[in-house]
């Protein structure tokens, strides 16, 4: 027993020194990197400090966050962290408590935004440049075979084809994530459509459903939106509803028109904007397009890059756009 123990102790010691010897072969020292980082921060001029970007769970948003985050970290020397939260309530809660500094792609929580501005803890910074499009979509194969399905007037004709085990004898209309703006139940009722909304419950479920429907030529109609990375992979077509007119969606239970185009917003914490951080200016000036965002999102999903790699690639390819945010 004794001898064994001593042997063991010896073995562990040998193993430990072997690891030390191995790792000594490559790489510099921690002190060298610390110095490099210090000089980088000094070169950026001014103090950035901490930047806590709220990240809502869809890939387009990840693209926004990591591009802004990379510019802030590399050019301004900010200490960037990503606060991963559901949109709406939790995100505003983070702005209020100081756990997050900025929401980069706010879709449609007008109520929450109004309340937050009234409360004085949030600032509306206007559009990040991209536009939110919400609507009813079908997979492309369906639109090819039955072009008239893209007009809502013909939807009842096809209702039986959309029947599933979930839809109780009517056609199934696939709703999406509970956090998204949806009033399809009201639209269906007010247009007299013979459909039943079945909620997919999450973005993953919605995307998988459209993917599968296109691959297997299944009948599917549901709620979808742009910008969304999957449009590059799975073609789908928008169904025309009665045109949106100002105010036709004023009362949610009486809506009988299409969704409005959504002006997306950047919303920041008031305290952060007043803090004098050099990142505040960057956030204010950051804008890009749906195509820019979809491209970065495609790098992440189809090309399997990490968000950091995807952001770095786009930044390297678009120096002028990045420079404009810092002027």
On whether the CB atoms of residues 195 and 218 are closer than 8 A, the answer is: no
Q: Does 28 bind another protein (CB under 8 A)?
A: yes
**134: helix, strand or coil:** strand
Q: End-to-end alpha-carbon separation of the chain, Å? A: 72
On whether the CB atoms of residues 52 and 99 are closer than 8 A, the answer is: yes
Residues 156-195 that bind another protein (CB under 8 A): 164-166, 174-175, 178-179, 182-183, 185
Q: Which of 105, 149, 188, 206 binds another protein (CB under 8 A)?
A: 206
131-139/222-226 β-pairing: antiparallel
| In the complex, minimum distance from the CB of residue 148 to another protein, in angstroms, rounded to a whole number | 25
Q: Does 16 bind another protein (CB under 8 A)?
A: yes
| In the complex, minimum distance from the CB of residue 1 to another protein, in angstroms, rounded to a whole number | 6
Q: Does 209 bind another protein (CB under 8 A)?
A: yes
Residues 29-48 that bind another protein (CB under 8 A): 29-34, 37-38, 41
Distance CA 247, CA 251 (A): 8
| In the complex, minimum distance from the CB of residue 245 to another protein, in angstroms, rounded to a whole number | 23
Residues 263-292, mask of contacts with another protein (x by CB under 8 A)? ------------------------------
Place of tokens 């980088």: 40
Q: Which of 83, 142, 155, 264 binds another protein (CB under 8 A)?
A: 83
Distance CA 46, CA 76 (A): 8
Q: Does 129 bind another protein (CB under 8 A)?
A: no
Short-list 236, 240, 237, CA closest to 214? 236
Q: Does 110 bind another protein (CB under 8 A)?
A: no
């Amino acid at each position: 027993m004794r001898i064994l123990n001593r042997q063991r102790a010896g073995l562990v010691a040998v193993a430990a020194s072997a690891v030390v010897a191995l790792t000594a072969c490559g790489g510099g020292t921690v002190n060298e990197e610390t110095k490099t980082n210090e000089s980088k921060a000094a070169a950026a001029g001014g103090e950035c400090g901490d930047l806590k970007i709220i990240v809502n769970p869809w890939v387009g948003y990840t693209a926004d966050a990591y591009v802004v985050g990379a510019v802030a970290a590399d050019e301004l020397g900010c200490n960037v962290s990503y606060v991963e939260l559901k949109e709406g309530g939790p995100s505003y809660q983070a702005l209020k408590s100081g756990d997050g500094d900025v929401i980069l792609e706010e879709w449609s929580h007008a109520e929450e935004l109004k309340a937050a501005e009234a409360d004085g803890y949030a600032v509306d910074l206007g559009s990040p440049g991209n536009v939110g499009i919400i609507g009813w979509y079908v997979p492309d194969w369906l639109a090819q075979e039955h072009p008239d399905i893209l007009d809502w007037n013909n939807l009842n004709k096809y209702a039986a084809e959309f029947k599933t085990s979930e839809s109780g004898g009517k056609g199934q209309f696939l709703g999406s994530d509970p956090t998204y703006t949806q009033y399809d139940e009201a639209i269906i009722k007010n247009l007299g459509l013979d459909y039943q909304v079945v909620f997919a419950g999450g973005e993953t479920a919605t995307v998988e459903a459209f993917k599968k429907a296109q691959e297997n030529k299944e009948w599917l109609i549901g709620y979808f939106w742009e910008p969304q990375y999957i449009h590059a992979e799975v073609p789908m077509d928008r169904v025309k509803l009665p045109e949106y007119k100002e105010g036709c969606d004023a009362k949610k239970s009486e809506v009988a028109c299409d969704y409005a185009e959504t002006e997306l917003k950047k919303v920041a914490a008031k305290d952060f904007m007043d803090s004098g951080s050099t990142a505040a200016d960057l956030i204010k000036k950051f804008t890009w397009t749906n195509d820019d965002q979809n491209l970065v999102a495609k790098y992440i999903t189809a090309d399997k890059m990490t968000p950091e790699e995807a952001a770095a690639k786009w930044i390297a390819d678009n120096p002028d756009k990045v420079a404009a945010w810092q002027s």
